[in-house]
Amino acid sequence: MRGIIIKDGIVPGGGGGLEFDLSDVLATLGERVTRSRWRARGLWYLSSDELGVDQLERLSAGATLDGHELLESLPRVRQVIDGEFEAREADSQRPWVIVRAVDSAWWEVLSDDPAVLAAIRARFRALEFFPVLPI
């Protein structure tokens, strides 16, 4: 998988913190997000009301969510600090995308699909690229 690190907001001229969160990354990936099953691990987030977000708590416990459920949970999320989100389509054993929050410092998007990486490049501006990684 090829990957992109997104650092919008933490580069010179930025606001000093990330200017986006998981909802922005997933919106960039389009409708395919809703057609996928999502898993997460290592999840640490802050909610807007300081209470747990049921869908994310279920993900943390090992459940999978469909894309609609994941998207419905995001308005209550103030910030994802750490975590890895993996999406698979119904007919696939391999993920089509992995999205990682890394210590509130940046996000990583990994995919074998050039369209996924092109969408990220088109939407975000402070990017670094890394080579093929086995999963």
Question: Model-level pTM?
Answer: 0.91
Does some domain include residue 60?
yes
Tokens of 119: 């969408």
pLDDT by residue (tens digit) across 50-100? 889 999 999 999 999 999 999 999 999 999 999 999 999 988 999 999 999
Note the pLDDT of residue 15: 56
Does some domain include residue 135?
no
Note the pLDDT of residue 132: 65
Helix (H) or strand (E) holding 27: helix 22-29
DSSP one-letter code for 8:
T
Does some domain include residue 18?
yes
The answer to whether the beta carbons of residues 102 and 6 sit under 8 Å apart is no
pLDDT > 70? residue 11: no
Range of the domain at 124: 2-130
Q: Give the count of domains, the chain.
A: 1
Segments of the chain assigned E as strands: 2-6, 36-47, 65-66, 77-89, 97-102, 106-111, 127-130
Does some domain include residue 89?
yes
Note the pLDDT of residue 2: 92
Does some domain include residue 120?
yes
Does some domain include residue 12?
yes
